[in-house]
Structure 1
Amino acid sequence: MMRPGISKVVAGVIVLVVVVALVLLMFSPISGSKQTTPKVVRVKWAGASFPYPLYLTWIKEYSKINPNVIIDYQSVGSGAGIRLLNESSIDFAASDMPLYDERYVVIPSVTGAVVLAYNLPCDELKLTPDIIADIFLGKIKRWDDPRIAKLNPGLSGDITVVHRSDGSGTTYIFTSYLSIISEEWNKTVGRGLVVQWPVGIGGKGNEGVAATIKQTPGSIGYVEYTYAVQAGIKSAIIRNKAGNFVKANETTVKAAVASFLEKLKADPRAPMLNSADAKAYPIVSNTYIVIPKKLKGDTGKAILDFLKWALKYGQAYATPLGYVPLPNEVVEIDERLLEGIEWIP
């Protein structure tokens, strides 16, 4: 038989154990209290292939500081990106064409150059605006054409033109340039995301055009500068409006941007083609992000937070990838435009 003193001690221990158990139960996850695990937000983004390498870098770097925001960017071309946004199939879009639509806020994201990449046994290819236009009009068919030979002796063979097969903002930029420098092109073909090409074979995306050029001796086509570099293909030196032959690089693109800065401050969607600056590369453009004027919930907040980060910190990733960061004046305009977007919790 247990002595009375011991019974009291045992009873006290039992009571203490029960109390502790109840306290633990009250504060345990199964008590119905809210979980502290952050919510995962998925954002769908699609459009231009022109800035694709940069956007992938932005997403990768942003995920390091916000791992619960998952942004999926699809390089489907500017035309498809705008269509998907109009259909509400994605949350926001990217386009090389400066969209004017009351439903959306459009901000420049970075600056780049469209180059004429080629597959020829020469380290340097000089082209004038009239030669470029006539190649893409199908009027110049061989590399030993007298006008080409005068600038580039020793070339021979047929010319294979490579262009985009999909709705493309890069096409819009390049055909806008052709429309400026060639009256015949402007009247017969014009500019657009899609045009009726007089000659050539198509490739899907900047990736597809670059790959086709690399695989096709005697070919020439237009791609965003970074794609030519990444594919290891050379690009032409083009005579600019001032009469100088210039190659696309950070210095020549920045010269073009600087020459149009006042116009950009008035309208950040202003074109930057065929600059009169002596050092400027002639085929330069911003690319754009297209955002609905009203954003809702966690997805909307995630978009705004990401874009604010991209404008403040993402520009630093532009130069290593072959792009040129936006001027500070344009970044400030972008930030004001983002502040004007209505967010509904």
Structure 2
Amino acid sequence: MKKVLLTATLLATPAFAVSLQGAGASFPYPLYLKYFAEYKKATGTEVSYQSIGSGGGQRQMLEQTVDFGATDGPMSDSDMAKAPDKNKILHIPTALGAVVPIYNIPGVDASLKFDGKVLADIFSGKITKWNDPALVKDNPELKGVMFPITIARRADGSGTTFIFTDYLAKVSKTFSGTVGKGTTVNWPQTSIGGKGNDGVTSVVKQTPGSIGYVELIFAKQNNIDYGQVKNKAGKFIKADLKSITAAAASKPMSNDTRVSITDASGAGSYPISGYTWILVYQNQDYGKQTEAKAKAVKNMLKWIVTDGQKLNEGLGYAELPEKAQKIAISLINGIKFGNKKL
């Protein structure tokens, strides 16, 4: 796949120090830490990032307390309309990832198989035991497991939750009508909340009989079991870079990049895949922003969607498809400071 790369001239170290602050999604947190460490080496620009959840990233963008936000669930039209002075908020895609069901069942080490509707029934509280016939049908090893199911879910506004519930709401009308989809939803009262992907991971590791959902890299880094999910073609797929990329290829990228790729078609597609985005204002002339900082934001974004993409796969994220990269660059090129093109 042909990829656009930046020239060294564009990223020349500025004559004065500029630092940037961002906050939001925990889904890409490991990747963003790597991005910003490497970006500092390349340019001298310091970029700090707080993993506070997608809901927090969207909120801080609207409050204009950060230079950029981050989210795994695209902002709605109504939320974007809340931007001060009607300043347009851009969604810059940075990577593709997968949300996987993780579990802790003593005595069971297999990669369990989950039908989407069964997964929806579990997370809506309808299926409460691991030896439920609906689970045993695809997982005979669960027949003798007497553990009750404990649901681990996000306690904060979460893009990971958005991707997960976006999928479950598509495959189950019951789930859509009771739990719903979004960064925060109506989880069963008996569920246990954890802050961030790492918080959900901790709940599952510490709770026998539990099931939760996290971004793929958190399952891998914590060496915790995660299951296969049946896709629209009827195939059980375990999330990996190939299946995530296949999901993205099955859905056209919109001009504003706010696209859902859950429940994608194609035999090789992992059904709970999603983009993650950095949020920035198109017009950087707001609040205490300066033209120098605006240029730094634009340069950082261009580096991420070009040179930075080579860091994605090593951390379990898929690179942007060529079409998505081109649209991202076009959006970044439209960033301005007042009436001045940067």
Q: TM-score, normalised to structure 2's length? A: 0.86
Q: Hey, what's the Cα distance between the residues in 2 that align with 1:105 and 1:250?
A: 26
Q: Hey, what's the Cα distance between the residues in 2 that align with 1:167 and 1:338?
A: 27
Q: Hey, what's the Cα distance between the residues in 1 that align with 2:248 and 2:59?
A: 29
Q: Hey, what's the Cα distance between the residues in 2 that align with 1:87 and 1:127?
A: 40
| SS of match in other structure, 2:41 | helix
Provide structure 1 residue ranges, at least 5 long, that are not aligned to the other structure. 1-36
> What's the counterpart of residue 114 of structure 1?
99
Q: Hey, what's the Cα distance between the residues in 2 that align with 1:268 and 1:103?
A: 14
**Structure 1: which amino acid aligns with 2:240?**
N
**Structure 2: which amino acid aligns with 1:82?**
Q
Instruction: Determine if contact 2:117/2:168 at 8 Å carries over to the other structure.
Output: no
Tell me, yes or no, if structure 1 residue 159 matches structure 2 residue 149.
yes
Q: Hey, what's the Cα distance between the residues in 1 that align with 2:55 and 2:255?
A: 26
> What's the counterpart of residue 292 of structure 2?
298
Q: Hey, what's the Cα distance between the residues in 2 that align with 1:138 and 1:342?
A: 48
Tell me, yes or no, if structure 1 residue 176 matches structure 2 residue 166.
yes
Greater mean deviation of Cα atoms: 318-327 or 185-194:
185-194
**1:70-149 alignment runs, 5 A limit:** 70-99=46-75, 100=77, 101=80, 103-120=88-105, 121-149=108-136
**Structure 2: which amino acid aligns with 1:312?**
T
**1:240-255 alignment runs, 5 A limit:** 240-255=231-246
Q: Hey, what's the Cα distance between the residues in 2 that align with 1:55 and 1:194?
A: 23
Provide structure 2 residue ranges, at least 5 long, that are not aligned to the other structure. 1-13, 81-86, 285-289
**1:50-69 alignment runs, 5 A limit:** 50-67=27-44, 69=45
Q: TM-score, normalised to structure 1's length? A: 0.86
Instruction: Determine if contact 2:124/2:178 at 8 Å carries over to the other structure.
Output: no
How much has 1:192 moved relative to structure 2?
Answer: 1.1
**Structure 2: which amino acid aligns with 1:74?**
Q
Displaced runs of 4+ in structure 1, greater than 4 A?
none
**1:255-274 alignment runs, 5 A limit:** 255-260=246-251, 263-274=252-263
> What's the counterpart of residue 3 of structure 2?
none
> What's the counterpart of residue 23 of structure 2?
46
> What's the counterpart of residue 312 of structure 1?
306
Q: Hey, what's the Cα distance between the residues in 2 that align with 1:215 and 1:324?
A: 30
Instruction: Determine if contact 2:178/2:186 at 8 Å carries over to the other structure.
Output: no
Q: Hey, what's the Cα distance between the residues in 1 that align with 2:234 and 2:91?
A: 34
How much has 1:65 moved relative to structure 2?
Answer: 1.6
Higher helix proportion (structure 1 or 2):
1
Aligned-residue CA RMSD in angstroms? Answer: 1.5
